[in-house]
Chain A
Amino acid sequence: MFNVKISLFARTRDLEHNIDNLHDKIIEMTMVFKEAVGIYLRERRSETYRHISKKIKTIEHDSDVLRREIEGKLYEENLIPDLRGSILRLVENLDRVINLFDEVAHKFYIEQPEIPEIYHSQLQTLVAQVADCAENMAIASRAFFRDLVTLRDYSQKVYLLEHQSDKTAAKLRRAVFDSDMDLAHKMQINNFIEEVADIADLAEDCIDALLIFAIKREI
């Protein structure tokens, strides 16, 4: 009996670490992604970009492993039966955000879009807003496990940043389509802008679901 308790204690602590680590991975991803886009705009597909792209892949892979471990432990240990479904969905949502960061970074690597310098500053602003949005989503999600008041505070920040990123994306797309570039080029850049902005949309969707889970979590 005592051994069972100790083992359950250790497994609960492991699971807590895994959940924390998954949130750390998102925050790390947002910073690396911001850096990666900056490098791409300066150097295109350079060795440095290749290197940072690899780093993004590693983060994505690590987060996949963490997600599987969390899901497995939640079911194996029969933990938090009332909220297990919500937590599984939350973990999957977090993983989708990380995957989307990876997909966009990889797309830059494969397609190597030619982005005129006049759009660099606006694109970097958009990337910064999107990364901030995802970072605040991660903080809100972490707070879900400990403190619902903080969750609400950060959720508001996510909504605000998503709205700002929408405006920045719309402005940038307008500027791209008003330019003299050929249509194919415009479409390619527009596609990238949309993909980057989609990350903030996904973060917002995660927060919507998270707030519903929070209602269930209240005692």
Chain B
Amino acid sequence: MFEYLFFLSSGLFLGWSLGANDASNIFGTAVGTKMLRFGTAAVIASIFLILGAVISGQNTAETLNTLGEVNTLPAAFTVSLSSALAVLLMLKSGISVSISQAIVGGIIGWNVYNHKPTDTDTLASICASWIFCPIISGALAVLLYLCVKSLLHHTKIHILWQDMAVRTGMILTTALGGYALGANNMANVVGVFIDSNVFEPLQLSRLYTLNSTQVLFLLGALAASIGVFTYSQRAIKTVGKNVLSFSPMVAWIVILSESLVLILFSSETLENFLLSLNLPPLPAVPVSSTQAVIGAIVGIGLVKGGKGIKWSLVIRVVSGWVATPVIAFMLCFISLFFMENVFRQVVSLP
């Protein structure tokens, strides 16, 4: 158990990074526009992030396992640690990045190091989701923006009531976003540890018992919550204020679009529903909340004429998306070498 917890520490570190980095995407705009206090937003997001991770977090884990089944504990430790370090490195340089990309970079690093084949179909599906995620988010944001604008034009609601509605909407959306982040992204954090999981099921009450995987996801979510409280304010400065100066109403639309996209990419029910209609399904893959937010912001910015968008910052963030998996890949590859040859740990089973 102690050994497992020791190796899991890197996963928890990655969980912390998820909270520090991605929570800013959920409520960064709300806090940046001063509609919600940081403390309020952090508490709401953390509670729902934990719920999302425990209740629906396992749906996206399967996809990551198909990409590369990291099958020893030291290897899972190394993949997680490299991904977390890649994220931290980018965070330190003030760029809000994607945990999903870091973990995919890490898993591919493990595949390449151990000469294991990478499932190209899954990789293609994940890469496609990275492209479609900001596009769908942008399209949703534009749609919502035009609807809200038209609604306000026709209803002539007093500015004070608009303010109250947006504030309430932001609280609800922060909860939704927290849930969606837990459901979609927690597999990134502890997904590689599922195979070697040693936790016992945990009985919460007579009616509800967490299975061993849910206990693992709960730990990851708690680590993410600590990240939310300790470090996310720094990342908010990038997403909340810098990319585009926007009103609280637009800020709310951005968070809502991002949350909806994360839910779209986590829901097996929706995937099955689209398949039943013979439509291309949206796979249950971990997508990047950062990409969703940037997609939404750029979408609205373009509808408004594109003048408010700080393109230099957008380019910096996008370059971070390319750099993150590459850095995670290299860190993982090098670390696995040390893990195997210096610390004499088994990093792969046949």
Complex contacts, B149 vs chain A, CB 8 Å: 219
Interface centre among B157, B159, B247 (most CB of A within 10 A): B159
Q: Which of A7-31 contact B (CB under 8 A)?
A: 8-9, 12, 15-16, 19
Q: Which of B160-177 contact A (CB under 8 A)?
A: 160-161, 163-164
- Mark A176-219 against chain B: 1 for CB-CB distance below 8 A, else 0: 00000000000000000000000000000000000000001111
Q: How far is the CA of A168 from the CA of B148 in the complex (A)?
A: 45
Q: How far is the CA of A149 from the CA of B160 in the complex (A)?
A: 18
Assuming the contacts A219-B145, A219-B247, asked whether A79 and B33 have C-beta atoms less than 8 A apart, the reply is no
Q: How far is the CA of A8 from the CA of B171 in the complex (A)?
A: 15
User: Would you give the shortest CB distance from B40 to chain A, in whole angstroms?
Assistant: 12
- Mark A74-89 against chain B: 1 for CB-CB distance below 8 A, else 0: 0000111111000000
The reply to whether A217 and B35 contact each other, CB–CB distance below 8 Å, is no
- Mark B190-205 against chain A: 1 for CB-CB distance below 8 A, else 0: 0000000000000000
The reply to whether A81 and B160 contact each other, CB–CB distance below 8 Å, is no
- Mark B221-262 against chain A: 1 for CB-CB distance below 8 A, else 0: 000000000000000000000000001111000000000000
Chain B CB within 8 A of A119 CB: no
User: Would you give the shortest CB distance from A216 to chain B, in whole angstroms?
Assistant: 8
Q: How far is the CA of A147 from the CA of B159 in the complex (A)?
A: 9
Q: Which residue of A lies closest to B33 (CB)?
A: A82
Give 19 A-B pairs besides A81-B34, A81-B35 with Cβ atoms closer than 8 angstroms: A9-B164, A12-B164, A15-B160, A16-B160, A16-B161, A80-B159, A81-B248, A82-B34, A145-B158, A145-B159, A145-B160, A146-B158, A149-B153, A216-B247, A217-B247, A219-B148, A219-B152, A219-B249, A219-B250
The reply to whether A79 and B163 contact each other, CB–CB distance below 8 Å, is yes
Size bracket, chain A contacts: 20 to 34
The reply to whether A80 and B152 contact each other, CB–CB distance below 8 Å, is no
Q: How far is the CA of A81 from the CA of B249 in the complex (A)?
A: 12
The reply to whether A217 and B159 contact each other, CB–CB distance below 8 Å, is yes
- Mark A120-152 against chain B: 1 for CB-CB distance below 8 A, else 0: 000000000000000000000000111101000
- Mark B143-158 against chain A: 1 for CB-CB distance below 8 A, else 0: 0010011001100111
User: Would you give the shortest CB distance from A10 to chain B, in whole angstroms?
Assistant: 12
- How many contacts A-B (CB < 8 Å)? 47
Q: How far is the CA of A35 from the CA of B149 in the complex (A)?
A: 43
The reply to whether A8 and B160 contact each other, CB–CB distance below 8 Å, is no
- Mark A24-63 against chain B: 1 for CB-CB distance below 8 A, else 0: 0000000000000000000000000000000000000000
Q: How far is the CA of A8 from the CA of B163 in the complex (A)?
A: 12
Complex contacts, B250 vs chain A, CB 8 Å: 219
User: Would you give the shortest CB distance from A5 to chain B, in whole angstroms?
Assistant: 9
The reply to whether B156 and A146 contact each other, CB–CB distance below 8 Å, is yes
Taking Cβ atoms with an 8 Å cutoff, the residues of B that contact A are 33-35, 145, 148-149, 152-153, 156-161, 163-164, 247-250
Complex contacts, A81 vs chain B, CB 8 Å: 33-35, 248
Q: How far is the CA of A15 from the CA of B35 in the complex (A)?
A: 18
User: Would you give the shortest CB distance from B75 to chain A, in whole angstroms?
Assistant: 47
Complex contacts, B158 vs chain A, CB 8 Å: 16, 145-146
Q: How far is the CA of A16 from the CA of B159 in the complex (A)?
A: 9
Complex contacts, A149 vs chain B, CB 8 Å: 153
Q: How far is the CA of A9 from the CA of B247 in the complex (A)?
A: 22
Interface centre among A9, A80, A218 (most CB of B within 10 A): A80
Q: How far is the CA of A72 from the CA of B252 in the complex (A)?
A: 26
The reply to whether A83 and B160 contact each other, CB–CB distance below 8 Å, is no
Q: How far is the CA of A78 from the CA of B163 in the complex (A)?
A: 11
Complex contacts, A8 vs chain B, CB 8 Å: 164
Partner of A12, one of B33, B160, B249: B160
Q: How far is the CA of A219 from the CA of B153 in the complex (A)?
A: 11
Q: How far is the CA of A194 from the CA of B248 in the complex (A)?
A: 43
Partner of B156, one of A15, A79, A82, A147: A147
The reply to whether A146 and B248 contact each other, CB–CB distance below 8 Å, is no
Q: Which residue of B lies closest to A217 (CB)?
A: B159
Q: How far is the CA of A152 from the CA of B152 in the complex (A)?
A: 16
User: Would you give the shortest CB distance from B112 to chain A, in whole angstroms?
Assistant: 48
Q: How far is the CA of A145 from the CA of B164 in the complex (A)?
A: 14
The reply to whether A80 and B160 contact each other, CB–CB distance below 8 Å, is yes
Q: How far is the CA of A164 from the CA of B34 in the complex (A)?
A: 43
Q: Which residue of A lies closest to B37 (CB)?
A: A78
User: Would you give the shortest CB distance from B281 to chain A, in whole angstroms?
Assistant: 34
The reply to whether B159 and A12 contact each other, CB–CB distance below 8 Å, is no
Q: How far is the CA of A218 from the CA of B159 in the complex (A)?
A: 11
Q: How far is the CA of A81 from the CA of B160 in the complex (A)?
A: 11
16 pairs of residues in contact across A and B, judged by CB atoms under 8 Å: A12-B161, A16-B158, A16-B161, A79-B160, A79-B163, A80-B159, A80-B160, A81-B34, A82-B34, A145-B160, A146-B156, A146-B158, A217-B247, A219-B145, A219-B148, A219-B149
